[in-house]
Structure 1
Amino acid sequence: MKKLFVSLLFCGLGFTAVAQKAKVNSADENLAGNKLDEAKADIEAALQHEKTKDDAKTWYVKGKIYEALATKNKSAGDAIVAYESFKKALEIDPKLKEAILEMQNRMFNVYATVGNAGYGQLNEQKWDSSYVYFQKAFEIQDYYNGKDLGGSIPRDTAMVFYAGYAANQAGKKDDAFKYLKQAADLKFKAEPALYVVLAQQYEERGDNANWIATIDSAKVLFPNDKRFNEMEMLYYSKTGKTDELMGMMEKKVQENPNDFGLQLDYAIRLDNVANPRDEKGADLPKPANYDELMNKAEAAYKKALELKADDATANFQLGALYFNRAVAFNKELNGMDSKQQSSAKAKELQTKVEELMNQSLPFFEKADAGFTAAGSNLEASDKRTYESCLYALQKIYAIKSMNDKVEATKKKLEALQ
């Protein structure tokens, strides 16, 4: 009896194993018939049994079923299950015949489904989850391409860029830099934002050589995108390349003669180059071409005022140009000893001071009127400019003994505090 019992037991085990292999086959057949729910139930049953749970074909069929579910439902979750199942199948049998014959299309479908989920999250501005899906898509691609199964999934340069973009938006700067640089190396040309963000990354890293190289590449690829001209000017400004900066700005104002904002910005930059200051605001030595720069700045301010005569800032800036030159001549005059004070040179300086003060006055007064008209709508930076304007007016009025205006200006200053 004991022998018979054992024999019967072995027969039972053999039958169960055959039954479970039949489950794998029926799962495959149901998949072929597009009966995905039945196929899923069959394969999960097979995976619960000792005889089939570690079989490469079982895992491969599971991968096929979940690939079909992922494709049908556009489900990244099912696609990832398919990927893990295919991995398991190849781990058990690296030379699985079916995998060699058909894995490329299946793995591409899995990769594409996960990648598309990344795009979907990107469109909803869900940056973190978008980046996670893109990373997973690259993992799937790299895994398959590293298996030498007779095919490969090509790199999608757009996905590389958008992975970098999503990472950047999610605050993952180092990850973003890796993918953005890779996209640029792959010559991705569809989206100028790649070069905007990558240039900003190089700027933040203090890599000036690659910062300007990225801008140069972008200008070739996107010649009509004005952002890269602005970025080039920013580069020249921040790296102290004033000759290049002013050359670019001069060309720009010539091309856009009626752009008030550009004209005023050009004038201010010329003024600043002519009157350099250190980080604490102290005056630095004047450049050798100081007079040339100041004459250009004066002409540019006047051009700006031709375009917008009542602009408070432009009027203030031109008034300040004359006023500051008067202050410089007055400083030179005060540096003379008593004997020199009666010289022809002193008289010449005194005349220049008075003329420049007189020139500055109407522009300061027009600026005063403009700032006053703005009232409570003045921004913080405009308030500081207005304050400087009033201090200059107060000084000019005092020199001219216009005491009533000195008092009126004093009250305006007090009201600004």
Structure 2
Amino acid sequence: MKKLFVSLLFCGAAMSAMAQRAKVSSAEENLKGEKFDAAKADIEAALANEKTKDDAKTWYVKGKIYESLASKNKSSEDALVAYESFKKALEINPKMPEALLEMQNRMFNVYATVGNAGYANLNEQKWDSAYGYFQKAVEIRDYYNKKNLGGSIPTDTAMVFYTGYAAQQAGKKDDAFNFLKEAVKLRYKGEPALLVVLAQQYEERGDNANWIATIDTAKVWFPNDKRFNDMEMLYYSKTGKTNELISMMEKKVNENPSDFALVLDYAIRLDNVANPRDEKGADIAKPANYDELMNKAEAAYKKALELKPEDATANFQLGALYFNRAVAFNKELNALDSKQLSSPKAKELQTKVQSLMDQSLPFFEKADAGFSAQGQLEASDKRTYESCLYALQKIYAIKSQPDKVAAVKKKLESL
């Protein structure tokens, strides 16, 4: 009896293990018939049993169930359950036959489902969530590819870029930087924004060599995107390479002589290069080619006004060019001692001041009319208009026109 009893115990244990393995087989059968609830119940029963919970096949079948659900319902949550289940199966048996035969397609479906969740969140501008899903998709791809199971998930260059873009938008700039650099190495050309954002990153990091190299790449890949020309000009401006900047702008103006905004920008840049200021806005030493730059700026302002004669900003800028030169000559005049005030040099300076003030006046008056007609002004235009009115007030005062001085004062008070 004792031997029979022991034999029965062993038989009972074997029967129990067989029953649980039958649950795994039943789960597979239910999966084939798309009886997902039954399949999930069966596999959870197998996982609750000591005899089958550490069996690679059990975890692999769970992965298949949730991978099928993920593909059917486009569910990232199910896809992530499938991923963890497949990982567990491979942890128990790294070379299980089923993995070698069919895991590539299943793992790709998991990867794609998670990646698509990233795109969905990206479209809704949920940057943190989008970045999280993209990161997970990259993890899934890299995990499977390192297993050497006879296949691989190819790198989606677009996803590499969008992972970086989502990270950038989420404020994770260091993470973004790495993904964006990888996307460039992969020669992703689907979005010019890749090189816009990467160039900005290099600029912020003070890496001038890679900043201009990225802009150069962008101009080759996207020759019709004007943003990269603007970025190139910003590079030359911020790095103090004014000769290169001016040469480039001259080329652009010659190629686009009817582009008012471009011509005006060129004139303003020439003006700024000729009249440099420090970080506090104070005047610093003029360049050696000051007169040449100012003559070019004057000609460019006039060209802009030929294109748009009534433009308030262009009129103000040309008026300011003459006015500021008058101020500079007036400083020279005031620096003369009393004995020199009747000298030929003093008379020459007085003539220049008067002539330049007279030249500036009609442009300031046109600018005044233009800004007044606009009604509500943007903050930058408002500051320009204030400068215009202050200049007019001084000119009218010099010309002894108190009524006009009072009228301008009212306009200033209204601002």
Counterpart in the other structure of 1:106:
106
Deviations for 1:140-168, whole angstroms, at most 9, x for unmatched residues? 11111111222222211111011111111
State the alpha-carbon separation in 2 of the partners of residues 158 and 28 from structure 1. 36
Q: Where do 1:399-414 residues align within 5 Å?
A: 399-414=398-413
Counterpart in the other structure of 1:323:
323
Deviates more, 1:179-188 or 1:363-372: 363-372
State the alpha-carbon separation in 1 of the partners of residues 89 and 8 from structure 2. 33
- Structure 2 SS opposite 1:339: helix
Identity of aligned residues (%): 83
Q: CA deviation at 1:374?
A: 2.9
Q: CA deviation at 1:227?
A: 1.2
Counterpart in the other structure of 1:395:
394
Deviates more, 1:42-51 or 1:287-296: 42-51
Counterpart in the other structure of 2:373:
373
- Structure 2 SS opposite 1:15: helix
Counterpart in the other structure of 2:250:
250
Q: In 2 relative to 1, CA 198–398 (structure 1 residues): closer, same or farther, beyond 3 Å?
A: same
Counterpart in the other structure of 1:286:
286
State the alpha-carbon separation in 1 of the partners of residues 409 and 141 from structure 2. 72
- Structure 2 SS opposite 1:125: coil
- The one-letter amino acid of 2:399's match is K
- Structure 2 SS opposite 1:257: coil
Q: CA deviation at 1:338?
A: 3.0
Q: Where do 1:223-242 residues align within 5 Å?
A: 223-242=223-242
Counterpart in the other structure of 2:145:
145
Counterpart in the other structure of 1:198:
198
Deviations for 1:47-106, whole angstroms, at most 9, x for unmatched residues? 111111111111111112222222222221111111111111111112212212222222
Q: In 2 relative to 1, CA 77–415 (structure 1 residues): closer, same or farther, beyond 3 Å?
A: closer
State the alpha-carbon separation in 2 of the partners of residues 95 and 367 from structure 1. 79
Counterpart in the other structure of 1:361:
361
Q: CA deviation at 1:411?
A: 3.0
Q: In 2 relative to 1, CA 316–37 (structure 1 residues): closer, same or farther, beyond 3 Å?
A: same
Q: CA deviation at 1:39?
A: 2.5
State the alpha-carbon separation in 2 of the partners of residues 383 and 112 from structure 1. 52
- The one-letter amino acid of 2:232's match is E
- Structure 1 SS opposite 2:370: helix
Counterpart in the other structure of 2:44:
44
Q: Where do 1:270-285 residues align within 5 Å?
A: 270-285=270-285
State the alpha-carbon separation in 1 of the partners of residues 397 and 54 from structure 2. 97
Deviations for 1:113-134, whole angstroms, at most 9, x for unmatched residues? 2112212222222222111111
State the alpha-carbon separation in 1 of the partners of residues 57 and 317 from structure 2. 80
State the TM-score, normalizing by the size of structure 2. Answer: 0.95
State the alpha-carbon separation in 2 of the partners of residues 90 and 230 from structure 1. 52
State the TM-score, normalizing by the size of structure 1. Answer: 0.95
State the alpha-carbon separation in 1 of the partners of residues 104 and 382 from structure 2. 66
Q: Where do 1:10-49 residues align within 5 Å?
A: 10-49=10-49
- The one-letter amino acid of 1:281's match is G
State the alpha-carbon separation in 2 of the partners of residues 369 and 32 from structure 1. 79
Q: CA deviation at 1:15?
A: 0.9
Q: CA deviation at 1:290?
A: 0.6
- Structure 1 SS opposite 2:341: helix
State the alpha-carbon separation in 2 of the partners of residues 143 and 346 from structure 1. 83
Q: CA deviation at 1:277?
A: 0.8
Counterpart in the other structure of 1:118:
118
State the alpha-carbon separation in 2 of the partners of residues 347 and 239 from structure 1. 42
- The one-letter amino acid of 1:406's match is V
1:173 aligns with 2:188: no
In the comparison of the two structures, how many residue pairs are matched? 415
Counterpart in the other structure of 2:70:
70
Q: CA deviation at 1:33?
A: 4.0
Deviates more, 1:265-274 or 1:383-392: 383-392
- The one-letter amino acid of 1:368's match is D
Deviations for 1:254-278, whole angstroms, at most 9, x for unmatched residues? 2222222222221111111111111
Q: CA deviation at 1:4?
A: 4.4
State the alpha-carbon separation in 2 of the partners of residues 311 and 29 from structure 1. 78
Unaligned runs of 5+ in 1: none
State the alpha-carbon separation in 1 of the partners of residues 318 and 194 from structure 2. 40
State the alpha-carbon separation in 2 of the partners of residues 178 and 346 from structure 1. 64
- Structure 2 SS opposite 1:372: helix
1:383 aligns with 2:382: yes
Deviations for 1:159-204, whole angstroms, at most 9, x for unmatched residues? 1011111111222211111111111111111111111111111112
Deviates more, 1:355-364 or 1:399-408: 399-408
State the alpha-carbon separation in 2 of the partners of residues 396 and 316 from structure 1. 14
Q: In 2 relative to 1, CA 161–331 (structure 1 residues): closer, same or farther, beyond 3 Å?
A: same
Q: CA deviation at 1:405?
A: 2.1
Q: CA deviation at 1:318?
A: 1.0
Q: CA deviation at 1:10?
A: 2.6
Q: Where do 1:52-91 residues align within 5 Å?
A: 52-91=52-91
State the alpha-carbon separation in 1 of the partners of residues 317 and 177 from structure 2. 41
State the alpha-carbon separation in 1 of the partners of residues 133 and 102 from structure 2. 24
- The one-letter amino acid of 1:402's match is Q
